[in-house]
């Protein structure tokens, strides 16, 4: 690269950093105060862009129309944010942790379909910014004026936020709440009002982030999810709740990306490494490295562990004899089903069995382990790829591939888990996500082994298992067996130690438990069983592609666990059944099926904050406690 | 069982009880696609096959039987798509499958089609593997593949005698194989060309400023791109502002498809060579007929997806008519060598690799009253850009 | 009775140049109840955390039953026979009182790796016996999260006793309790210590508790040990009076 090329790529990085920072800052503030992992933040960004497009279209492309449209769009999104907080989130602050995550995920689905309905399917490319539509000559290169504006905008917003947080009474309250929620409550802060305004500010920043992108990218329907991942990475790398940290992280990531692209291909020892291709996953690699070296991000501080704000989990009572019989009867009924039904119900149930095992394996670390993984699909996918490739490339018989595939997931969990269990809470979750994305990108890029983005096809079960009915039985037996084993572990000494480590790491350590080791072991067990689910999955589909270890699969797992009830035993199974069935039924019967699923989830979250199984337990078991 | 299906079952029951078999049972075809994932292409596609379906049934259906399409969203990932396909086969008892857009999902469904011995007419997936490396007896594909469309652009590229080329493509199979085919075909047609830069941004997430800058730093004479959708729009705007395209020839696969061209409006880069669909200007009788019918039915103009949906539906109907049965073997026999008319002219489903000879329009971009259009275009017949039957046979694994 | 089970020699710890604990040495004999007192910031907690494994000392030795335990992790210290309670109670809130004690017992028997056996019946009788000893057997099936603070302190004690410790470290055992509860808890502790000859080392702010229940008192000031003796001796030590007790104590 020439010196002038370096300069220009550096400036590109700066303007990219500003864009990233705008979205991330809002997310960081919201998380700092409310501890909500807001999946809908990317949707707010997308709405900001769409609304700005429409407003500018209406007001005209002049300066007033453009800047007025941008400002109004941000305000509109802020109002929507406030509305969401008041109508939805406020009602579930007392629910188990992470339930808000489920609610915001449902919002993502609703907003996706709303946007499609309101603006149609085509990308909408807005106008250039009036007055900033051209380029200036910098070191012999044409550099967009608007990018210069963005370069200034980022630090300006940083300073403004800094002023707001450090110099105003409201900011003092926000900082107090970020440090210690209860203390802020004790100071007489009107928490409701504070949360609403904070959420509105977060949405305002997201909306503005979107609106300011008008001259740079079209409004399109993919933006929500692609932005939210980036924003989370920036927030976590910077350190949760730290605005300057978010700025630093945005700068770091944007510059690394710009220079990966700028440097291009590099030849090391006769092999060509394409750095531009590395941008597929670079932010997640940065996140993994930063979290391994600095467990609380660049400028973050150790979080005061959220002192069980929500409902405290009840002791996990051994299922009563009646419950065991009922579960056994369910199993028996499922085993007899093929005599009554054939065809599609068996196929849907096979999927449900696979996802139930996946959800229970996630619940194993999330519930008793207190480790909410955002990247559990990695182990599902590793099991699937392991089994599929052992058959496809290794030439192993299918039965053997099914047995050995999960070990690949186990090995992955062993390696990644070692790093992950050193962290806790959202940092843990984000490191699992980073590893999952890295795994995904390897499957995506390693064409000669994994078949790249297309994946591998032709991985079908052995002939004796090929019929729908026999595969149904295989899935039923494997999944029921796996779930029984995992549930048994909940009540084993190992399970006690795991819960002990979650409830009080200090006490657990003080009675001789090596908490990290225990968590690591649990992580590997969960990975292994997720791998079993993945291996079952691959042979039921006959093919495998990177989708099986991508973020949506991880989110599906979270949704299943939370929907069923993270603080219950059987909840994740019901959650998996309901969610899989709901996706299938909604997609079959309505056009806007994502919105329908979102609305159903919101209704369920509001009606049963303890999850389905939690609701049933409360309703029918009364206040019964452990024996 | 939902209400809709319950009602349907009841109606069927009533019909059978009352009228015996006065009316022949309709023939059911299963259609599945990622409607929520790629709505820009697939909404017009759906309108296309719906129009065709109405025409077919108005014209007496299939040998006197009504044609019915059971259409489903495939959930946007291969696993869910396979389940939906299974449902269409097992529960809806369809006779054929059609549809799909994304390559990896198309491959997964084609793989299932083979396992369940069910004919699948793939509408859109562009991957070459679908008919060659991973092709199977049950899968047919309508659209010209990545390789074919690259091959359609290459003669124009060769004519310009540019030496230094830069390549940019979305980093997944479609982009990778477009780049690979381009390099291979160019090297054969114009020995000594040089690839001076290669950029593969992640799909949907191009860092347009940096990519444009990197390409410009390499000082290429010409650029070959296979970007589309939002990536293409970002690339075009940044490139326009930063002057990347000044004095450089640019080739962009799919760039002339209305789905991707129309959003560009006054940003449309003039002079680019593209494959696409100049729907306003095609004056063949078959296209004018289609255009009139489409505009009348939907009060909107067709996109490329509309043509694909329309022609896929007719492929299915013609195969069913010719086979005179819903048996898979009969359908395969009917589809192999099936000749038929489409809005783009006549096509044949080649027996050797099950690829249709549908072509594409190759031309240059221009701006006309603030909208992007194609000019200097010609129709490239797919048949001329396919490997010979003997070569194709070698490309297929089995 | 006079065998020292804990020998602390020249223990030191600094934070960024500030000496939190400087050259502290003392011994604890079996069955003895020993209090560490001192004004805020005197180094009590730092000293304490070097004994239980939470902090590694910069210098010095901590010998428990003849074995150097300085720098060992809390879980290793515990295995050797040192139990502890926390200033703010640390129990497993989502587990029942019995399960809390069972977990400690399972750990003592190194059975926590067991994946597929049921823990519910493991050591249940032993757990109940421990709960009876601290007087909370009737709460055995309740979740710790719903217990009153005083009861939690007793549960902690039962957990600490599960490993049959020879030394019990109690950080501010009566903090946050009512005067009545304080008396009860400390009487219980003293009784247990006597009956099973467990040495008890505790820090405490409440001078009534200290002078009623400690047999020996260590006084720390600015990281240094300034007094070590029986309550009666410490009571009259002029240095102690000067830095810490002042006149408040003269009246008592």
Q: What is the tens place of the pLDDT at every residue in B220-231?
A: 999 999 999 999
Q: Closest-CA residue in chain C for A319?
A: C120
Q: Based on the fold, state whether residues B44 and B116 are members of the same structural domain.
A: yes
Cα dihedral across residues A467, A468, A471, A473: positive or negative: negative
The confidence score (pLDDT) of residue A31 equals: 86
Q: Rounded mean pLDDT of A302-313? A: 55
- The CA-atom distances, in angstroms, between A122 and each of A125, A129, A138, B259 are 9, 21, 35, 7
Q: Closest-CA residue in chain B for A146?
A: B241
The confidence score (pLDDT) of residue B14 equals: 47
Q: How far apart are the first and last CA of chain B?
A: 40
The confidence score (pLDDT) of residue C250 equals: 43
A131 interfacial to chain B (CB closer than 8 Å): no
User: Would you state the torsion angle of the CA atoms of residues A387, A388, A392, A394, taken in this order, to the nearest 10 degrees?
Assistant: -20
Q: Based on the fold, state whether residues B134 and B158 are members of the same structural domain.
A: no
Q: What is the mean pLDDT of chain A?
A: 90
Residue B230 lies inside a defined structural domain of this protein? yes
Whether residue B353 is predicted with pLDDT greater than 80 in this model: the reply is yes
Distance CA C100, CA A496 (A): 9
Residue B395 lies inside a defined structural domain of this protein? no
The confidence score (pLDDT) of residue C245 equals: 57
Q: What angle do CA A154, A157, A163 make, to 5 degrees?
A: 145
The confidence score (pLDDT) of residue A303 equals: 63
Chains B and C touch (3+ CB pairs under 8 A): no
Q: Rounded mean pLDDT of C214-219? A: 92
Whether residue A34 is predicted with pLDDT greater than 60 in this model: the reply is yes
Q: Rounded mean pLDDT of A333-357? A: 90
Whether residue A94 is predicted with pLDDT greater than 80 in this model: the reply is no
The confidence score (pLDDT) of residue C179 equals: 85
pLDDT-based confidence at residue A565 (cuts at 50, 70, 90):
confident
Chains A and B touch (3+ CB pairs under 8 A): yes
Q: Based on the fold, state whether residues B100 and B161 are members of the same structural domain.
A: no
The confidence score (pLDDT) of residue B66 equals: 94
What percentage of chain A has pLDDT greater than the value 70?
95
Distance CA A493, CA A319 (A): 17
The confidence score (pLDDT) of residue A271 equals: 83
Token pair in block for residue A402: 């099914």
Cα dihedral across residues B86, B91, B95, B99: positive or negative: negative
Whether B83 and A585 lie within 8 Å, measured CB to CB: no
Whether residue B261 is predicted with pLDDT greater than 60 in this model: the reply is yes
Distance CA A164, CA A154 (A): 15
Whether residue A175 is predicted with pLDDT greater than 60 in this model: the reply is yes
A624 interfacial to chain C (CB closer than 8 Å): no
Minimal CA–CA distance to C249: which of C222, C224, C219?
A: C219
Q: Based on the fold, state whether residues B315 and B328 are members of the same structural domain.
A: yes
Find chain A residues with C-beta within 8 A of C107's C-beta: 497, 511-513
A112 sits in the region (left: phi over 0; alpha: psi -120 to 50; else beta) called alpha
Number of domains in chain B: 2
A116 interfacial to chain B (CB closer than 8 Å): yes
Whether A500 and C103 lie within 8 Å, measured CB to CB: yes
Q: Rounded mean pLDDT of A63-89? A: 95
Task: Give which of A512, A610, A626, A627 to mutate to test C binding, by max C Cβ within 10 Å.
Answer: A512
Structural domains of chain A in order of their starting residue, each with its CATH number: 3-128+138-293 (1.10.3470), 345-550 (no CATH)
Q: Based on the fold, state whether residues B141 and B272 are members of the same structural domain.
A: no
Q: Cite the beta strand spans of chain C per DSSP E.
A: 4-15, 18-29, 33-37, 59-64, 67-68, 82-85, 167-171, 199-203, 216-221, 224-229
Size of interface A-B (CB pairs under 8 A): 213
C-alpha distance from B131 to closest chain A C-alpha (Å): 13
Q: Based on the fold, state whether residues B265 and B383 are members of the same structural domain.
A: yes
The confidence score (pLDDT) of residue A188 equals: 61
Whether A545 and B84 lie within 8 Å, measured CB to CB: no
Q: Based on the fold, state whether residues B261 and B368 are members of the same structural domain.
A: yes
Whether residue B19 is predicted with pLDDT greater than 50 in this model: the reply is no
A351 interfacial to chain C (CB closer than 8 Å): no
Q: What is the mean pLDDT of chain B?
A: 91
B67: enclosing H helix or E strand: strand B67-73
* pLDDT, tens digit (0-9, with 9 covering 90-100), for C9-64: 999 998 887 888 889 999 999 889 999 988 887 888 888 889 988 889 999 999 99
Q: What is the ipTM of this complex?
A: 0.92
Residue B246 lies inside a defined structural domain of this protein? yes
Whether residue A602 is predicted with pLDDT greater than 60 in this model: the reply is yes
Whether residue B2 is predicted with pLDDT greater than 90 in this model: the reply is no
Cβ burial, residue A54 (10 Å; 0-12/13-18/19+):
middle
Kindly report the backbone phi and psi dihedral angles of residue C82, in degrees, each rounded to the nearest multiple of 5, phi listed first: -115, 115
Q: Based on the fold, state whether residues B382 and B350 are members of the same structural domain.
A: no
C-alpha distance from C173 to closest chain A C-alpha (Å): 15
Q: Are A266 and A276 in contact (CB under 8 A)?
A: no
CATH of the domain at B70: 3.40.50.2300
Task: Give which of A19, A119, A139, A276 to mutate to test B binding, by max B Cβ within 10 Å.
Answer: A276
Q: What angle do CA B348, B92, A479 make, to 5 degrees?
A: 110
Find chain C residues with C-beta within 8 A of A499's C-beta: 92, 94-95
Q: 3-state class of A433 per DSSP?
A: helix
Whether C96 and A626 lie within 8 Å, measured CB to CB: yes
A594 interfacial to chain B (CB closer than 8 Å): yes
pLDDT-based confidence at residue C235 (cuts at 50, 70, 90):
confident
Q: Based on the fold, state whether residues B255 and B385 are members of the same structural domain.
A: yes
Distance CA B219, CA A1 (A): 12
* pLDDT, tens digit (0-9, with 9 covering 90-100), for A212-240: 999 999 999 989 988 998 999 999 999 98
The confidence score (pLDDT) of residue A404 equals: 95
Q: Based on the fold, state whether residues B186 and B305 are members of the same structural domain.
A: no
Q: Closest-CA residue in chain C for A487?
A: C116
Token pair in block for residue C159: 């957990």
Q: Rounded mean pLDDT of C209-222? A: 89
The confidence score (pLDDT) of residue A566 equals: 85
Residue B65 lies inside a defined structural domain of this protein? yes
Distance CA A475, CA A479 (A): 6
Whether C92 and A316 lie within 8 Å, measured CB to CB: no
Give the least confident one: A600-609, B85-94, B188-197.
A600-609
Task: Give which of A510, A525, A626 to mutate to test C binding, by max C Cβ within 10 Å.
Answer: A510
Residue B338 lies inside a defined structural domain of this protein? yes
Whether C95 and A318 lie within 8 Å, measured CB to CB: no
Q: Based on the fold, state whether residues B75 and B122 are members of the same structural domain.
A: yes
Give the least confident one: A149-158, A311-320, C2-11, C195-204.
A311-320
Distance CA C154, CA C173 (A): 10
Distance CA A89, CA A93 (A): 7
Q: Rounded mean pLDDT of A232-261? A: 93
Give the least confident one: A391-400, A406-415, B385-394, C9-18.
C9-18
Global confidence as pTM: 0.92
Partner residue opposite C94 with nearest CB, options A499, A507, A511: A499
The confidence score (pLDDT) of residue A312 equals: 64
The confidence score (pLDDT) of residue A182 equals: 62
Q: 3-state class of C20 per DSSP?
A: strand
Distance CA B100, CA B110 (A): 10
Q: Rounded mean pLDDT of A32-59? A: 92
Residue B394 lies inside a defined structural domain of this protein? no
Q: Are A401 and A535 in contact (CB under 8 A)?
A: yes
Residue B397 lies inside a defined structural domain of this protein? no
Distance CA A305, CA A314 (A): 19
- The CA-atom distances, in angstroms, between A20 and each of A16, A129, A315 are 6, 19, 43
A265: enclosing H helix or E strand: strand A265-268
Task: Give which of C99, C101, C115, C171 to mutate to test A binding, by max A Cβ within 10 Å.
Answer: C115
A134 interfacial to chain B (CB closer than 8 Å): yes
Residue B396 lies inside a defined structural domain of this protein? no
* Enclosing domain of residue B310: 3-145+283-359
Whether B198 and A584 lie within 8 Å, measured CB to CB: no
Q: Based on the fold, state whether residues B331 and B306 are members of the same structural domain.
A: yes
State the alpha helices, DSSP H only, in chain B.
3-19, 39-58, 78-90, 103-115, 146-159, 173-189, 208-217, 229-242, 258-261, 285-298, 304-323, 328-335, 389-395
Find chain C residues with C-beta within 8 A of A484's C-beta: none
pLDDT-based confidence at residue B1 (cuts at 50, 70, 90):
very low
**Contact residues, A window 493-532, toward C, CB-based 8 Å cutoff:** 493-497, 499-500, 502-504, 506-514, 518, 521, 525
Find chain B residues with C-beta within 8 A of A12's C-beta: 207, 209-210, 213
Whether residue B17 is predicted with pLDDT greater than 50 in this model: the reply is no
């Amino acid at each position: 690269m020439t010196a002038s090329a370096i300069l220009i790529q550096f400036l590109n990085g700066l303007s990219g950093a500003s864009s990233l920072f705008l979205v991330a800052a809002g997310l960081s503030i919201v998380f700092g105060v409310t501890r909500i992992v807001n999946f809908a933040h990317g949707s707010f960004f997308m709405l900001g862009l769409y609304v700005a497009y429409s407003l500018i279209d209406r007001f005209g492309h002049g300066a007033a129309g453009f800047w007025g449209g941008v400002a109004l769009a941000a305000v509109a999104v802020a109002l929507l944010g406030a509305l969401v907080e008041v109508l939805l989130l406020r009602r579930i602050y007392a629910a188990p942790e992470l339930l808000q995550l489920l609610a915001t995920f449902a919002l993502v689905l609703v907003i996706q379909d709303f946007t499609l309905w309101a603006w149609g399917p085509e990308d909408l490319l807005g106008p250039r910014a009036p007055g900033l539509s051209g380029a200036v000559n910098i070191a012999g290169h044409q550099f967009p004026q608007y990018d210069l504006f963005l370069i200034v905008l980022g630090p300006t917003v940083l300073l403004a936020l800094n002023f707001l947080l450090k110099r105003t009474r409201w900011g003092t309250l926000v900082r107090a709440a970020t440090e210690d929620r209860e203390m802020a409550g004790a100071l007489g802060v009107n928490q409701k009002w504070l949360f609403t305004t904070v959420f509105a500010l977060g949405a305002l920043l997201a909306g503005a982030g979107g609106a300011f992108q008008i001259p740079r990218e079209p409004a399109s329907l993919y933006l929500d999810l692609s932005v939210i991942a980036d924003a989370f990475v920036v927030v976590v790398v910077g350190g949760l709740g730290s605005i300057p940290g978010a700025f630093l992280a945005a700068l770091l990531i944007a510059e690394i990306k710009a220079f990966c692209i700028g440097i291009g291909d590099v030849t090391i020892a006769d092999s060509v490494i394409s750095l531009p291709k590395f941008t597929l996953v670079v932010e997640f690699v940065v996140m993994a490295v930063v979290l391994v070296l600095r467990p609380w991000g660049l400028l973050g501080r150790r979080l005061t562990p959220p002192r069980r704000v929500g409902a405290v989990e009840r002791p996990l009572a051994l299922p009563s004899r009646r419950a065991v019989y009922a579960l056994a009867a369910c199993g028996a009924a499922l085993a007899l089903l093929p005599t009554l039904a054939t065809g599609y119900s068996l196929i849907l149930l096979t999927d449900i069995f696979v996802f139930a095992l996946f959800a229970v394996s996630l619940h194993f670390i999330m519930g008793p382990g207190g480790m909410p993984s955002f990247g559990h699909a990695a182990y599902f996918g590793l099991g699937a790829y392991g089994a599929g490739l052992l058959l496809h490339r290794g030439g192993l018989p299918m039965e053997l591939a099914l047995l050995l595939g999960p070990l690949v997931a186990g090995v992955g969990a062993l390696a990644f888990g070692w790093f992950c269990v050193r962290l806790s809470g959202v940092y843990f979750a984000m490191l699992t996500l980073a590893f999952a994305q890295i795994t995904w990108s390897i499957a995506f890029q390693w064409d000669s082994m994994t078949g790249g983005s297309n994946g591998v096809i032709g991985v079908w079960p052995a002939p004796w298992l090929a019929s729908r009915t026999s595969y149904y039985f295989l899935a039923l037996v494997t999944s029921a067996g796996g779930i029984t084993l995992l549930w048994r572990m909940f009540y084993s000494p190992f399970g006690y130690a795991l819960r002990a480590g979650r409830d009080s790491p200090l006490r657990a350590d003080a009675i001789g438990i090596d908490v990290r080791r225990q968590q690591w072991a649990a992580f590997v067990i969960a990975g292994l069983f997720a791998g079993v689910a993945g291996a079952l999955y691959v042979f039921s589909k006959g093919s495998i592609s990177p989708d099986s270890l991508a973020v949506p699969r991880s989110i599906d797992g979270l949704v299943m666990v939370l929907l069923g009830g993270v603080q219950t035993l059987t909840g994740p199974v019901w959650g998996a059944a309901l969610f899989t069935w709901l996706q299938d039924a909604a997609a079959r019967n309505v056009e806007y099926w994502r919105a329908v699923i979102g609305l159903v989830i919101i209704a369920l979250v509001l009606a049963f904050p303890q999850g389905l199984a939690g609701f049933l337990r409360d309703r029918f078991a009364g206040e019964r406690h452990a024996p | 069982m939902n209400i809709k299906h319950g009602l349907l079952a009841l109606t069927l029951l009533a019909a059978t009880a009352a009228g015996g078999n006065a009316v022949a049972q309709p023939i059911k075809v299963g259609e599945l696609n990622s409607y929520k994932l790629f709505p820009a292409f697939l909404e017009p596609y759906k309108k296309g096959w719906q129009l065709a379906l109405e025409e077919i049934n108005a014209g007496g259906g299939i040998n006197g039987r009504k044609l019915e399409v059971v259409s489903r969203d495939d959930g946007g990932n291969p696993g869910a798509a396979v389940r939906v396909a299974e449902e269409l086969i097992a529960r809806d008892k369809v006779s054929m499958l059609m549809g799909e857009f994304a390559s990896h999902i198309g491959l997964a469904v084609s793989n299932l089609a083979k396992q369940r011995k069910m004919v699948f007419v793939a509408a859109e997936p562009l991957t070459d593997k679908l008919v060659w490396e991973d092709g199977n007896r049950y899968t047919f594909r309508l659209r010209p593949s990545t390789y074919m469309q690259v091959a359609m652009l290459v003669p124009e590229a060769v004519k310009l005698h540019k030496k230094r080329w830069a390549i940019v493509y979305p980093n997944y199979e479609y982009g990778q194989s477009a780049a690979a085919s381009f390099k291979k075909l160019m090297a054969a047609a114009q020995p000594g060309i040089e690839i001076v830069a290669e950029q593969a941004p992640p799909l949907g997430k191009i860092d347009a400023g940096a990519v444009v800058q990197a390409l410009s730093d390499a000082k290429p004479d010409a650029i070959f791109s296979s970007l589309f959708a939002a990536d293409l729009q970002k690339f075009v705007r940044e490139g326009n502002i930063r002057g990347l395209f000044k004095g450089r020839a640019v080739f962009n696969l799919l760039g002339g498809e209305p789905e991707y061209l129309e959003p560009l409006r006054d940003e449309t880069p003039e002079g680019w060579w593209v494959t696409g669909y100049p729907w306003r200007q095609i004056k063949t009788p078959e296209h004018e007929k289609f255009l009139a019918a489409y505009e009348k039915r939907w009060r909107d103009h067709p996109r490329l997806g509309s043509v694909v949906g329309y022609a896929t539906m007719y492929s299915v109907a013609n195969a069913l008519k010719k086979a005179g049965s819903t048996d898979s073997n009969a359908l395969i026999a009917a589809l192999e060598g099936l000749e038929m008319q489409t809005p783009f002219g006549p096509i044949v489903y080649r027996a050797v690799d099950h690829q249709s000879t549908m072509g594409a329009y190759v031309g240059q971009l221009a701006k006309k009253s603030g909208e992007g259009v194609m000019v200097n275009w010609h129709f490239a017949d797919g048949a001329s850009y396919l490997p010979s039957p003997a070569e194709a046979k070698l490309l297929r694994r089995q | 009775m006079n065998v020292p089970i804990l020998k602390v020699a020249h223990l030191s710890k600094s934070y960024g140049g500030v000496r939190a604990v400087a050259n502290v040495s003392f011994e604890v004999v079996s069955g003895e109840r020993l209090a560490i007192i001192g004004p805020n910031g005197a180094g009590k907690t730092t000293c304490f955390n070097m004994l239980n494994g939470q902090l590694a000392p910069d210098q010095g030795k901590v010998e428990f039953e003849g074995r150097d335990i300085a720098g060992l992790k809390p879980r290793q210290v515990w295995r050797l026979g040192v139990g502890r309670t926390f200033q703010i109670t640390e129990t497993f809130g989502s587990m029942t009182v019995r399960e809390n004690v069972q977990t400690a017992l399972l750990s003592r028997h190194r059975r926590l790796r067991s994946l597929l056996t049921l823990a519910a019946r493991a050591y249940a009788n032993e757990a109940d016996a421990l709960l009876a000893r601290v007087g909370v057997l009737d709460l055995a099936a309740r979740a710790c999260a719903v217990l009153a603070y005083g009861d939690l302190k007793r549960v902690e004690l039962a957990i600490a006793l599960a490993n049959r410790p020879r030394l019990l470290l109690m950080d501010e055992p009566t903090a946050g309790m009512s005067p009545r509860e304080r008396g009860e808890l400390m009487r219980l502790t003293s009784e247990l210590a006597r009956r099973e000859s467990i040495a008890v080392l505790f820090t405490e702010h409440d001078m009534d508790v200290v002078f009623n229940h400690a047999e020996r008192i260590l006084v720390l000031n600015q990281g240094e040990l300034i007094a070590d003796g029986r309550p009666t001796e410490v009571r009259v030590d002029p240095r102690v009076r000067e830095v810490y007790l002042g006149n408040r104590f003269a009246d008592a």
